């Protein structure tokens, strides 16, 4: 490692900050929850997850957490994704291919509009939080 | 490509000794086996603070908080959580949190805490300078080198109101200003990392979890007073802290953040590590300096203060680890922000090492002015086994006890002093109804007598005399005059000793006498120890009505003092009994009486 100048240090900080922000759980009000059950993975949920992460990174969104959970139970609509964010209803999207994932980031998270053709029902009532 | 998940494993000394390193290696090899090493980042961080529950593994972004993890648990976490997305509920701290958003913030231990000093501990990998830089690391140094004059830096510290966290609470800015005012060709910055109080380990945790913050602060101090050379005096008993410091120094030198011409600013400063052999007196600044110079670690009279005449006769600023860890934040966020935290006279936060008879022992950082009750009962979770709270010893062997009636006192330097204790470095030992105050005072005096350097007679002779008197009382041979003698010797030591060790050595006995006079009297007049901790005053006898003659006590007795026929009441031979209490603990029928 060579000695750094002030500018280089500042550049390095910005760069590393982005990486660390991905890990920081604070200030993340938006959650993208990807169903990664066996059926989800078989239907391509891993690619979907990658697409979300890539898209978030490219857009420089720091307040979004992408997490993986087990199956939502909506196996006919895999890959399934739940999006939770303030001022928007909790929505479960189905058949989320990498293309749709990008659409969700652009339209739902940035544009605050539902991606109509991919909204599926919420999971059965008995496994939902009582709100 | 970014990582999808993160596994943070506590790498503090406590968790490390509970095999957290094996856990770390297991994660790495399991992830490699599953071909997930590019998806999941595994890192070893500094101490999370919640030592009672260690080893701790945190998984992000889910924020699952796994506690008391064993090396073999790694497999379950990888297979269930990382691959299938199902948290392993029986390892979670709060078992009900097995649902999706398990938050660390929901844990009561962390709720009332406010982390300034420990801001990076448990979050970054301390052996990677990039992670520190990403958390605004070295931004304060940038500001100090390129935008601030030495006077600006000292002024900012003055506004912040930061006082020394080593114990005495001297305003940090004033120390720096003294040093700056002296004309000298060479000046030094010394970091006091000789943490010796029984039960205290906050400095160690900062060095292990965030070593760069100390390096950065020392460099800022150097710029403020015009120093060119720094020493970190750390005790050799802290091998992990020493290792991480060495890594940190190497990395910042390579990046040009330490050494010649830092970041092209024209300012040069370098740091070396000096190992201490673990003498308590070497935490005292003048003794510490003598030790760095290669002499025997004994204190000298002050003034002249080290800030004016220190290492090799040159001006030397000595700050404690925790004090230093505050400084980068003060420079980046401003002294005004810092002075908004805490009380009128004591600003900022304080890290306490909470140990003893407490449910959640660990490292706790709270704003100054937080009542002790909050620390003991909310954060600490109260006393185990339904026992009653008796007292808290603050400030280690230099401090005193605080009793139940003062639990609501806001903690700051002045209030603790008024109660006859001190802030000290921040060790906090909780005692319950089973602890004998005479015994506690004797323990601390035993420590200070051992650690006295012997240079001045008040400490060397006074400490020994006090210990002997306490020993006499604990054996049931004390008289009421002894209490007067203790006070007399104690007050003399406070006034006449050369350094802080001797001046504060009588504190534990004076303070326990002040609040628990009855207990002392019980030892002297009634010749009993109410809690049964002073072995010489305790006798174990078998209640023949209750004894069924199972013989368990006789088998456990290490000195064969118990005899008796099968199914017949047994008997303890008092001349042989060593009062170890084994029989008392072994008896299933409460047939043994302790008096």
| Residue B41, min C-alpha distance to chain A (Å) | 10
DSSP character at residue A107: I
Closest CA to B591 of B535, B538, B550: B550
Point out the residue among A6, A13, A36 whose CB comes nearest to the CB of B133.
A13
Helix (H) or strand (E) holding B158: helix B150-160
Cβ distance of B142 and A57 shorter than 8 Å:
no
Interface check A61 vs B, CB under 8 A: no
Alpha-carbon distance of B324 to B318, in angstroms, equals 10
Point out the residue among B3, B63, B263 whose CB comes nearest to the CB of A5.
B263
In residues, how long is chain A?
A: 131
**Which segment, B40-44, B61-65, B302-306, B313-317, is predicted with the most confidence on average?**
B313-317
CB pairs under 8 A between A and B: 89
Interface check B404 vs A, CB under 8 A: no
Helix (H) or strand (E) holding B232: strand B229-235
CA distances B12 to A91, B52, B206, B514, Å, are 41, 13, 10, 38
Closest CA to B109 of B48, B55, B25, B153: B48
* Confidence band of A131 (pLDDT split at 50, 70, 90): very low
Tokens standing for residue B398: 């230099």
CA distances B383 to B158, B187, B326, B434, Å, are 40, 48, 31, 12
CB contact residues (below 8 A), chain A span 4-43, against chain B? 4-6, 9-10, 12-13, 16-17, 19-20, 22-25, 28, 31, 33, 35-37
Question: Above 80 in pLDDT, residue B410?
Answer: yes
Average pLDDT, chain B: 91
Over residues B88-138, the pLDDT tens digits come to: 888 888 655 444 444 566 677 887 889 999 999 988 999 999 999 999 999
Q: A19 or B343: which carries more pLDDT confidence?
A: B343
Weakest-pLDDT range from B32-46, B105-119, B171-185: B105-119
Q: Hey, of A4, A41, A55, A129, which one would you mutate to test binding to chain B, going by the most B CBs within 10 A of its CB?
A: A4
Alpha-carbon distance of B45 to A20, in angstroms, equals 14
Tokens standing for residue B126: 């301390």
Residue of B nearest to A68 (CA): B85
| Residue A114, min C-alpha distance to chain B (Å) | 23
Burial track A26-64 (b if 16+ CB lie within 10 A, e otherwise):
eebebbbbbbbbebbbebbbbebbbbbbbbbbeeeeeeb
Closest CA to B348 of B192, B580, B119: B119
Interface check A124 vs B, CB under 8 A: no
Residue B465: CB partners within 8 Å, gap ≥ 6? B485, B489
Cβ distance of A70 and B257 shorter than 8 Å:
no
Question: Above 60 in pLDDT, residue A110?
Answer: yes
Over residues A52-103, the pLDDT tens digits come to: 988 888 888 888 888 888 888 788 888 999 888 887 788 889 889 999 999 8
Burial track B307-324 (b if 16+ CB lie within 10 A, e otherwise):
bbbbbeebbbbbbbbbbb
Alpha-carbon distance of A81 to A90, in angstroms, equals 11
Q: In 3-state terms, what secondary structure has residue B406?
A: helix
pTM: 0.88
| pLDDT given at position A64 | 87
| Residue A107, min C-alpha distance to chain B (Å) | 22
Interface check B63 vs A, CB under 8 A: yes
Alpha-carbon distance of B28 to B41, in angstroms, equals 9
Alpha-carbon distance of B557 to B575, in angstroms, equals 14
Residue of A nearest to B83 (CA): A36
Cβ distance of B61 and A53 shorter than 8 Å:
no
Interface check A47 vs B, CB under 8 A: no
Percent of chain B with pLDDT over 70: 97
| pLDDT given at position B93 | 82
Half-sphere exposure at residue B249, Cβ-oriented, CA atoms within 13 angstroms = 17
Residue B16: CB partners within 8 Å, gap ≥ 6? B240
Cβ distance of A3 and B256 shorter than 8 Å:
yes
Point out the residue among A1, A65, A70 whose CB comes nearest to the CB of B85.
A70
* Confidence band of B211 (pLDDT split at 50, 70, 90): very high
Question: Above 60 in pLDDT, residue A128?
Answer: no
Tokens standing for residue B164: 């020394």
B582: alpha, beta or left? (left if phi > 0; alpha if psi -120 to 50): alpha
| pLDDT given at position B241 | 94
| pLDDT given at position B585 | 86
| Residue A66, min C-alpha distance to chain B (Å) | 7
Q: In this structure, how many other beta carbons lie within 10 angstroms of the beta carbon of residue A119?
A: 14
Question: Above 70 in pLDDT, residue B528?
Answer: yes
Closest CA to B508 of B297, B248, B199, B265: B199
| pLDDT given at position B566 | 87
Helices (H) and strands (E) in chain B, counts: 24, 17
| pLDDT given at position B81 | 87
Residue of A nearest to B145 (CA): A6
DSSP character at residue B275: E
Alpha-carbon distance of B422 to A23, in angstroms, equals 39
Point out the residue among A2, A13, A22 whose CB comes nearest to the CB of B3.
A22
Question: Above 50 in pLDDT, residue B399?
Answer: yes
Task: State mean pLDDT over B332-345.
Answer: 94
CB B238 within 8 A of CB B209: no
Point out the residue among B134, B137, B139 whose CB comes nearest to the CB of A19.
B134
Direct distance between the N- and C-terminal alpha carbons of chain B, in angstroms, rounded to an integer: 70
Helix (H) or strand (E) holding B351: strand B349-356
Estimate to the nearest angstrom the gap between the alpha carbon of B379 and the chain centroid: 16
Strands (E), B91-228: 188-193
Cβ distance of A9 and B138 shorter than 8 Å:
yes
Percent of chain B with pLDDT over 90: 71
CB A71 within 8 A of CB A40: yes
Residue of B nearest to A18 (CA): B134
Question: Above 90 in pLDDT, residue A112?
Answer: no
Q: Is the ipTM of this complex over 0.85?
A: no
Interface check B62 vs A, CB under 8 A: yes
Helix (H) or strand (E) holding B64: strand B64-66
Task: State mean pLDDT over B198-223.
Answer: 94
Interface check A128 vs B, CB under 8 A: no
CB A94 within 8 A of CB A59: no
* Confidence band of B472 (pLDDT split at 50, 70, 90): very high
Burial track B273-298 (b if 16+ CB lie within 10 A, e otherwise):
bbbbeebbbbbbbbbbbbbbeeeebb
Question: Above 70 in pLDDT, residue A2?
Answer: no
Interface check B147 vs A, CB under 8 A: no
């Amino acid at each position: 490692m060579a000695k750094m100048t002030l500018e280089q240090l500042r550049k390095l900080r910005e760069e590393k900050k982005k990486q660390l922000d991905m890990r920081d759980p604070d200030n993340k009000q938006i959650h993208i929850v990807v169903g990664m059950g066996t059926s989800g993975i078989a239907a391509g949920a891993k690619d979907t997850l990658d697409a979300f992460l890539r898209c978030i990174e490219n857009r420089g969104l720091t307040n979004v957490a992408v997490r993986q959970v087990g199956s939502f139970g909506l196996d006919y609509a895999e890959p399934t994704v739940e999006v939770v964010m303030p001022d928007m209803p909790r929505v479960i999207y189905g058949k989320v291919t990498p293309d749709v994932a990008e659409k969700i980031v652009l339209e739902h998270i940035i544009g605050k509009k539902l991606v109509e053709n991919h909204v599926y029902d919420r999971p059965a009532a008995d496994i939902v939080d009582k709100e | 490509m970014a990582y999808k998940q993160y596994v943070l494993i506590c790498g503090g000394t406590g968790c490390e000794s509970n095999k957290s390193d094996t856990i770390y290696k297991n994660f790495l090899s399991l992830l490699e086996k599953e071909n997930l090493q590019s998806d999941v980042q595994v890192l070893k961080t500094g101490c999370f603070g919640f030592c009672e529950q260690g080893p701790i593994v945190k998984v992000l972004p889910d924020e699952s908080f796994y506690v008391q993890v064993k090396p073999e648990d790694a497999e379950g976490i990888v297979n269930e959580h990382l691959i299938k997305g199902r948290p392993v509920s029986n390892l979670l701290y709060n078992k009900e949190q097995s649902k999706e958003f398990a938050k660390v913030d929901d844990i009561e231990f962390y709720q009332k805490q406010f982390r300034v000093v420990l801001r990076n501990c448990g979050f970054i990998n301390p052996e990677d300078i990039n992670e520190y830089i990403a958390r605004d690391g070295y931004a304060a140094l940038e500001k100090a080198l390129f935008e601030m004059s030495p006077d600006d830096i000292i002024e900012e510290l003055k506004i912040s109101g930061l006082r020394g966290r080593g114990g005495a609470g001297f305003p940090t800015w004033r120390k720096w200003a003294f040093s700056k005012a002296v004309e000298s060709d060479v000046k030094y910055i010394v970091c006091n990392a000789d943490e010796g109080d029984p039960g205290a380990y906050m400095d160690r945790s900062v060095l292990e979890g965030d070593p760069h913050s100390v390096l950065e602060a020392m460099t800022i101090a150097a710029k403020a007073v015009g120093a060119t050379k720094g020493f970190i005096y750390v005790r050799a008993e802290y091998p992990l802290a020493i290792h991480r410091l060495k890594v940190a120094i190497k990395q910042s030198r390579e990046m040009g953040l330490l050494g010649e011409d830092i970041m092209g600013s024209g300012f040069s400063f370098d740091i070396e590590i000096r190992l201490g052999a673990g003498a308590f007196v070497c935490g005292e600044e003048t003794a510490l300096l003598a030790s760095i110079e290669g002499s025997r670690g004994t204190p000298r009279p002050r003034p002249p203060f080290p800030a004016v005449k220190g290492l090799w006769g040159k001006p030397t600023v000595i700050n404690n680890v925790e004090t230093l860890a505050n400084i980068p934040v003060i420079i980046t966020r401003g002294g005004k922000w810092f002075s908004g935290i805490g009380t009128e006279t004591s600003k900022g936060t304080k890290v306490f090492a909470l140990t003893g008879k407490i449910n959640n022992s660990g490292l706790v950082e709270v704003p100054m002015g937080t009542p002790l009750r909050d620390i003991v009962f909310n954060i600490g979770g109260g006393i185990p086994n339904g026992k009653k709270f008796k007292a808290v010893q603050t400030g280690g062997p230099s401090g005193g006890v605080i009793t139940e009636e003062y639990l609501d006192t806001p903690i700051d330097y002045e209030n603790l002093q008024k109660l006859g204790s001190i802030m000290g470095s921040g060790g906090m030992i909780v005692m319950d109804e089973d602890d004998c105050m005479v015994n506690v005072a004797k323990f601390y005096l035993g420590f200070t007598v051992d650690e006295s350097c012997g240079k001045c007679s008040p400490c060397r002779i006074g400490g020994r005399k006090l210990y002997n008197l306490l020993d006499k009382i604990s054996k049931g041979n004390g008289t009421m005059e002894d209490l007067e003698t203790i006070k007399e010797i104690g007050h003399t030591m406070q006034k006449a000793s050369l350094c802080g060790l001797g001046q504060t050595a009588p504190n534990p006995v004076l303070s326990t006498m002040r609040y628990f006079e009855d207990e002392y009297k019980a030892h002297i007049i009634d010749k009993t120890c109410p809690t049964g901790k002073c072995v010489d005053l305790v006798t174990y006898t078998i209640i023949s009505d209750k004894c069924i003659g199972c013989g368990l006590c006789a088998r456990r007795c290490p000195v064969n003092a118990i005899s008796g026929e099968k199914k017949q009441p047994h008997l303890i031979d008092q001349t042989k009994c060593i009062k170890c209490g084994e029989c008392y603990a072994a008896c299933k029928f409460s047939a043994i009486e302790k008096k």
